Amino acid sequence: MGLAKTELFTTEQNKLASLLKALAHPARIAILQHIIQSNTCICGDLVTEIGLAQPTISQHLKELKNSGLIKGTIEGTSVCYCIDEQNWNIARELINSFFNQNSNSADCC
Amino acid sequence: MGLAKTELFTTEQNKLASLLKALAHPARIAILQHIIQSNTCICGDLVTEIGLAQPTISQHLKELKNSGLIKGTIEGTSVCYCIDEQNWNIARELINSFFNQNSNSADCC
DNA sequence: TTATTTAATCGTAATATTGCAATATATAAA
DNA sequence: TTTATATATTGCAATATTACGATTAAATAA
C-alpha cells in the first residue's frame, strides 16, 4: 500500500511517529543543528551551508514548520527561521517519556 | 530522486536520522510499547494485538532488529523478541543529546 | 517603473515505504 | 514420516519521499 494504517493506532502513537518522521532525515537534522548553533536565526544560508538545492531546502523547512519544531518570520526578502521553543520542549518530553517507559526487563532473551 | 544524499552529512547526522527513521512509524512504536509493557518477552501475539497482517508485522520487526533496538531469539516454533537494553540506552542518549544542544536562543523570531 | 534578491511552489523523475497474498522455512507434535 | 504451527521471505501494487529544474511571488533597490 504505502499508506500507514493510522486508524489501528492511538492518537499518541500516531503523533509520536509523525514527530519522529519529521526528524528522520539527515538534512532536517542538519538544518535544526544549524538553526540551534547560530545565535541569530539562520535564513537562506542553509542552502550554501548544506549542499542541497534551494527548493529541496525549502521543502525540508516546510516539513519542519508543519511539525511545529521551527517557525519562520519574513524579514525583508529573506525568511528567518528559529526553533519553536515551546513545541521543541513538548517534542523532547514526548520522546523522553517514550524512552523512559520502564521495561521490567528481566533480560529474558 | 527519492534517495537521501547521505554524503552531504556527517556520520552522526546520518546515524541519528537512521535511528529516528526506524522509530518513525506507528506500528513500530506500538510494537516497541508491547514488548516493553509485557514483562516477559513478547512472541507472536503482536499480530493479534496490532491489527496488521503477519508479513507486515514481520517486516516491521526486521527493521527494528536492523536498527539494533530489539533482538529476537528462537524459542521452539516461535520467536521471542525483547528490547536490546544496551542499544536502547545508546539510542536514548543520542536523541537526548540532540535535544539538549543548548540553543543560545534569544528568541529572535 | 524595472531590475534584483530571496524564498515558495509546481511539475516530475527516481527511489523508498507500506501492506499483504502466496509461498517458503523451520521446529514441534502426532 | 506426516501434520500442524509459527515466522520469514518473495513479489507486487499503492502510495510517499526526496531531489531539483523551472517558474512564481514578494519585497527591496535602482
**Which tens digit of pLDDT belongs to each residue from A2-25?**
677 899 999 999 999 999 999 999
Q: Do B95 and A98 touch (CB under 8 A)?
A: no
Footprint of strand D on the protein (CB under 7 A): A 1-3, 21, 24-25, 27, 52-56, 59-60, 63, 74, 76-77; B 1-5, 43-44, 47, 54-55, 58-59, 61-62, 72, 77-79
DSSP A7: G
State CA B89 to chain mean position distance: 12
List strand residue ranges (DSSP E) for chain B, in order.
70-75, 78-83
Query: Which of A9, A21, A88 is the closest to B30 by Cβ?
Result: A9
User: Torsion angle, CA of B68/B74/B80/B81, rounded to 10 degrees?
Assistant: 10
Distance CA A10, CA B71 (A): 25
B14-97 has CATH 1.10.10.10 classification: yes
Q: Which nucleotide is closest, CA of A52 to its C1'?
A: D19
Q: Do B9 and A16 touch (CB under 8 A)?
A: no
The CATH number of A21-95, from 1.10.3720.10, 3.40.190.10, 3.40.50.2000, 1.10.10.10, is: 1.10.10.10
- How far is CA B22 from each of CA B61, B63, B91, rounded to the nearest angstrom? 10, 7, 11
pLDDT per residue as tens, chain A (109 positions): 667 789 999 999 999 999 999 999 999 999 999 999 986 777 788 999 999 999 999 999 999 999 999 999 998 999 999 999 999 999 999 999 999 987 655 556 6
SS3 B79: strand
Annotated domain spans of chain A? 21-95
Residue B59 near chain A (CB below 8 Å): no
B14 contacts in A (CB within 8 Å)? 26
